[in-house]
Amino acid sequence: MRRAFLKGAAVLGVAALTFGSMAGLASAQALLEKADKGEPIRIGFANEIPFAYPGDDGSPKGFVNAFAIGVLKKMGYEKIEPVQTEWGGLIPGLNANRFDIVTGGMNILASRCENIAFSEPIATVGDGFIVAPGNPKKIGDYKSLASSGAVMVTGAGYSNIEAAKAAGVAEANIMQVPGPTEILAAVKAGRADAGAGTYFTMKQLADASGGAVVASDPSAMPEDSFNWAGIGFRKADKAFLDKFNAAMKDYIGSDEMLAAVAEYGYDKSSLPGDKTTEWVCANR
């Protein structure tokens, strides 16, 4: 009986392995097959002005959404379904199949490359701070945050958390909130000395604050604080990602693309240069 059981278990094990391999293959083709069938592609993003955010009617706004939609159209896909979530839910939501692509303006980082796959870079992005008028604690970079003992507020899951810790900012001095609205509120209320995010976002918050906060000088930030943003995909969807990257080559930097993103502050200076995703994953 025991031999019969073991033999049966072995057969089941082989069957399970075979099924698992087939399931993995099916999963790898899922987004490409879905898109080719004419089903909508769900793009996931948070409320991150000017990267990606919902319009008043729920439509996808922001330069990353505009960029991604432009590439998808080049690929022949025009059925798009926007899905908004909090920033911290973007990678978990992608891997849980709640949406198909992350268009949130996510920086490519080694820690993120372990969990999802990224397109080739679509933009170079510098960090920035919002501070009280006059910048009383003279905060210009992460080291000045650490040396002054200032409290920094940033979004949960933002790359600024890793950058601050690497510069010596104590974890107790890093406040995490859902997103830009809460970052601005914390600095305005004096609960934090500086709000951190991308310079794009911090400048927008400062401009819209009516003078309540100002953006720090981005030129004070060190070179190693600059990052490259990409579009996020499930690792199983490599076939679709390869097709996306191929379509991107002729689109990025074109007059058509720059016109589509101009209203969000993206211009030629925001282009990613010659850095590849492979390089960024290894160096950021």
Does 120 lie in the same domain as 45? yes
Instruction: Give domain status of residue 21, yes or no.
Output: no
3 falls in which pLDDT band (50, 70, 90)? very low
Residue 198's domain spans which residues?
127-225
Shared-domain flag, residues 93 and 136: no
Amino acid at 30: A
Q: Is residue 23 part of a domain?
A: no
Residue that wins the pLDDT comparison between 15 and 168 = 168
Q: Where residue 135 falls among pLDDT bands split at 50, 70, 90?
A: very high
pLDDT for 114 beyond 60? yes
Is the sign of the CA dihedral 100, 109, 60, 87 positive or negative? Answer: positive
Percentage of the chain lying above the pLDDT 70 cut: 90
Report the percentage of the chain scoring pLDDT > 90.
77
Domain-embedded: residue 262: yes
Q: CA torsion angle for 141, 142, 148, 152 (degrees, to 10)?
A: 110
- At 265 the pLDDT is 84
**Whether 121 and 242 share a structural domain:** yes
Distance in angstroms (rounded) separating the CA atoms of residues 228 and 211:
30
Whether residues 271 and 209 share a domain: the answer is no
Same domain? For 108 and 244 the reply is yes
Please say which residue of 205, 225, 245 terminates a domain.
225
**Would 16 be classed as within a structural domain?**
no
Do residues 182 and 248 share a domain? no
pLDDT classification of 29: cutoffs 50, 70, 90: very low
Contact criterion met (CB below 8 Å) for 194 and 139: yes
Same domain, 119 and 255: yes
Q: Is the pLDDT of residue 11 over 50?
A: no
Same domain, 110 and 143: no
Residues 136 and 273 in one domain: no
pTM of this prediction? 0.75
CA 124/CA 130 separation, integer angstroms: 20
Count of structural domains within the chain: 2
Which of 200, 225, 250 is the last residue before a domain boundary? Answer: 225
Residue 11 falls inside a structural domain: no
Say if 206 falls within a structural domain: yes
Q: Which residue has the higher pLDDT, 222 or 81?
A: 81
Each residue's pLDDT tens digit, 229-275 = 999 999 999 999 999 999 999 999 999 999 999 999 888 989 999 99
Tell me the pLDDT band of 16, cut-offs 50, 70 and 90: very low
- CA 79 from chain centre, in angstroms, equals 22
CATH of the domain at 120: 3.40.190.10
Same domain, 43 and 121: yes
If asked whether residues 252 and 200 sit together in one domain, one would say no
User: Has residue 34 been placed in a domain?
Assistant: yes
pLDDT category at 218 given cuts 50, 70, 90 is confident
